[in-house]
Amino acid sequence: VVAGVCSGLGEYFAIDPVWFRIGFVVLAIAGGSGILIYLLMWLIVPPQPDGYIAPDSGRGSVTGVAVIGVVFVIVGTVALVNTAAPWLGQYVWPVVLLMGGLVLLLGGLKR
C-alpha cells in the first residue's frame, strides 16, 4: 500500500496482492529481510506509465486455498527433511527459496 509494490506484483503474476503483503510482513518479522526487499523493489521496479489501463489479468485464478495448500506442503516437506535428516536441514530452506524464485522467474518470462 505504501509504494504499490505488492499491487504491481499481484497484477503481474495475476495473484491477489494480499498474498505478497503477507509475505513481506512475514519476512519482515522473521528477520527484517522483507523491509529490505520491499525497499529495493520500490527503487528498482519502474512505475506504471500514466494513463495505463491494466488488462483483465484474471485475478482470482489462484485461490487462497491453493496458496495455503502449497505453503503447507512446503513447510511439511521441510519439517520432514529436518526430522529425517537433521544434518540436511540447514540446506533445505535455501533450496526451497531458490526453487520458488526460479519458478516465479520462469513463469514471468513466459508471459
29-76 pLDDT, tens per residue?
877 888 888 888 888 877 776 666 665 555 555 566 666 667 777 777
Q: Do 16 and 57 contact (CB within 8 A), yes or no? A: no
Quote the pTM value.
0.49
User: Does the pLDDT value for residue 24 go beyond 80?
Assistant: yes
Alpha helices in 1-111 (DSSP H): 5-13, 17-31, 33-44, 64-84, 89-110
Query: pLDDT of 83-106, one tens digit each?
Result: 887 777 677 777 777 777 777 777
Higher pLDDT, 68 or 3: 3
Alpha-carbon gap, residue 25 to 2, rounded angstroms: 13
What is the percent of the chain with per-residue pLDDT over 90, rounded to a whole number? 0
Residue 84: is it exposed, middle or buried by C-beta count within 10 angstroms (0-12/13-18/19+)? exposed
Q: Do 19 and 67 contact (CB within 8 A), yes or no? A: yes
User: Does the pLDDT value for residue 4 go beyond 60?
Assistant: yes
Alpha-carbon gap, residue 74 to 93, rounded angstroms: 10
Q: What angle do the packed helices 64-84 and 89-110 form, to 10 degrees?
A: 150
Query: Mean pLDDT, the chain, as a whole number?
Result: 75
